[in-house]
Amino acid sequence: MRQKRVVLLVPTTTYRLDDFLQAATRLDIEVILASNRCRVLAAAWPNHFGLSLPFSAQREAVAKAVAMLRDKTIDAVVAADDYTTILAAQLSAKLHLHGNRPESVAKTRNKLSLRRVLAGGGLLSPKFFVIHIDSPPEPYLSRVDFPVVLKPLLLSGSRGVIRANTPDEFVAAFHRIATLLRHREFFQMRSAAAKCILVESYIPGSEVALEGLLTNGKLRVLALFDKPDPLVGPFFEETIYVTPSRLLPETQREIHAAVSQACKILGLQHGPIHAEARLNEQGVFILEVAARTIGGLCSRTLKFGAGISLEELVLRHAVGENVDDMLRLTGAAGVMMLPIPRSGRLHAVHGIEAARAVPYIQDLQITIPLANLVIALPEGASYLGFMFARAETPAQVEKALREAHRKLHFDIQPALLVQEQ
Ligand SMILES: Nc1ncnc2c1ncn2[C@@H]1O[C@H](COP(=O)(O)OP(=O)(O)OP(=O)(O)O)[C@@H](O)[C@H]1O
Ligand SMILES: [Mg+2]
């Protein structure tokens, strides 16, 4: 039988590469890495033929990929991260492969489009409007029912997401996000949406994340994660995710139904999805639906069938295998994304061994090298690392993660941050 071949679209900032490559190796699938800076990746992973694509010029990137792949049979195109989902859908469509329509994926990548589509489709939605970063925010105050959340339209990982409870906080949050969006990092984002701020009414309640797999429009829940830390702002850093969820079965069914409905309204059909939702007495509010797997190293909490990884499951599904009977292994698992407590230079991390020694802790990875600058939310875009636990019950997992986190001490020293224009 011919070896299957998958194009994996990875931004150079990805956390996801190693897990996808390992999965591909185990499955004997050939991976063609497509990245926005392949010289670096090519040096690091010389066994993989790399495509260097200009991710910020999508049409050009697709044309270049199609031209370079014309002599090869491709079985699937997989996006490793948010940033590459639209490109993956476009390339998939051009190569006549099974995937999502690019227009559907594009709606998931713009928080205003997502809100409009979901609210228009009858799902519960906060009230919302947008402001351009060059407009003064004060005239909008008359429209605001506090509390609200302000956020950029195109960023992810809670970057630039700020709650405001008062007019002063609103104006301050607006300027803080506007400053972030004027940073040169975002110059290449030429769309008008990159210069807009979404204002949404604050949705009270608890939060969950759903990892799912769509097959011809039908959603299978691979895992539902509770987020046991209160996410009440002013910034919304992710910390602990635990699965299986401790919510009542009927609440879990409501979440499944709402996410299924969201996928349907968006027109998402095939492949992995990651959704986040808030729940309160009104019902399920969808915060996000993305056509990709869970971010960071968090997928390492999940094992299926005889112990296969989420990436293996997704790659098998992508090349057309039936994975319906590969269920998540029983038992509870969780991850803590280690938040950056303040910005500065990461000088030392103490207590790693003590944290690893806490019962049920399986692994701890510090993902930022010592001496690097770390930037806290809302401006930052990364975590200090990831810590994993596995136990019989979700409560044991949560307790272990908290206890292990208390053993860690991050020595972050003030750094002279050069103001970039
Ligand atoms: N309207 C809201 N009400 C309450 N909390 C919110 C609201 N919008 C966002 N949040 C909080 O902020 C977090 C991040 O917001 P959101 O998911 O919209 O942005 P993101 O994570 O940066 O982008 P994406 O999820 O598209 O990658 C949410 O997980 C939630 O905790
Ligand atoms: Mg989110």
**What mean pLDDT, rounded, does the chain reach?**
93
How sure is the predictor about 372, in pLDDT bands with cuts at 50, 70 and 90?
Answer: very high
Proximal ligand: closest to the CA of 227: 1
Q: From the CA of 236, how far away is ligand 1's center (Å)? A: 7
Q: Please tell me if the CB atom of residue 332 comes closer than 6 angstroms to any atom of ligand 1.
A: no
Compute the Cα dihedral for 14, 16, 22, 23 and give only its sign: negative
Asked whether the beta carbons of 140 and 129 are under 8 A apart, the reply is: yes
149 in contact with ligand 1, CB cutoff 6 A: yes
Measured in angstroms, how far is the CA atom of residue 376 from the centroid of ligand 1?
16
Give residue 38's pLDDT: 54
What is this structure's pTM? 0.94
Confidence check: pLDDT of 421 > 80: no
Give residue-wise pLDDT tens across range 326-335.
989 889 999 9
Q: Is 231 in the pocket of ligand 1 (CB under 6 A)?
A: yes
Q: What pLDDT is attached to residue 12?
A: 82
pLDDT above 90 coverage of the chain, percent: 86
* Residue 420 binned pLDDT confidence (cut-offs 50, 70, 90): very low
Residue pLDDT, tens place only, 57-67: 889 999 999 99
Alpha-carbon torsion 183, 38, 343, 278, what sign? positive
Q: HEC string of 118-143?
A: HHHCCCCCCCEEEEECCCCCHHHHHH
Ligand 1: residue of 112, 202, 287, 292 to mutate (most ligand atoms within 8 A of CB) is 287
| Residue 40 pLDDT class (50, 70, 90 cuts) | low
How does DSSP assign 213-256, residue by residue? EEETTEEEEEEEEE--S---SSB----EEEES--S-HHHHHHHH
Structure-block tokens of residue 44: 């690091």
Ligand nearest to the CA of 231: 1
pLDDT reported for residue 56: 82
Q: How confident is the model at residue 49, as a pLDDT?
A: 61
Residue 286: pLDDT above 70? yes
207 lines ligand 1 (CB under 6 A): yes
Q: What is the mean pLDDT of residues 372-377?
A: 95
Name residues whose C-beta falls within 8 Å of residue 253's C-beta, 6 or more positions apart in sequence: none
Instruction: Indicate if ligand 1 lies below 6 Å from the C-beta of 385.
Output: no
Reduced to 3 states (helix: H, G, I; strand: E, B; else coil), residue 349 is strand
CB of residue 29 inside a 6 A radius of ligand 1: no
Give per-residue pLDDT as tens, 246-278. Answer: 999 999 999 999 999 999 999 999 999 999 999
Instruction: Evaluate: CB of 158 within 6 angstroms of ligand 1.
Output: yes
Binned at pLDDT 50, 70 and 90, residue 188 comes out as low
Q: Using the atom order of ligand 1, give the atom closest to the CA of residue 158.
A: 22
CB-neighbour burial class of residue 206 (10 A; exposed 0-12, middle 13-18, buried 19+) = middle
What pLDDT was estimated at residue 57? 86
| Domains along the chain with CATH numbers | 5-100 (3.40.50.20), 127-201 (3.30.1490.20), 332-421 (3.90.1170.50)
Considering every ligand atom shown, identify the ligand nearest to the alpha carbon of residue 205 and give its number.
1
How many whole angstroms from 158 Cα to the centroid of ligand 1? 6
Ligand 1 lined by 150 (C-beta under 6 Å): no
pLDDT for 341-371, tens place per residue?
Answer: 999 999 999 999 999 999 999 999 999 999 9
Give the residue, by CA position, lying nearest to ligand 1 atom 16. Answer: 158
What residues pack around ion ligand 2 (CB closer than 5 A)? Answer: 276, 288
State how far the Cα of 323 lies from the Cα of 23, in Å rounded to an integer.
15
Question: Residue with the nearest Cα to atom 26 of ligand 1?
Answer: 156
Top mutation candidate among 82, 85, 161 for ligand 1, by most atoms within 8 Å of CB:
161
Q: What are the pLDDT digits (tens) for 84-127? A: 999 999 999 999 999 999 999 999 999 999 999 999 999 999 99
Residues 193-211: what's their mean pLDDT? 97
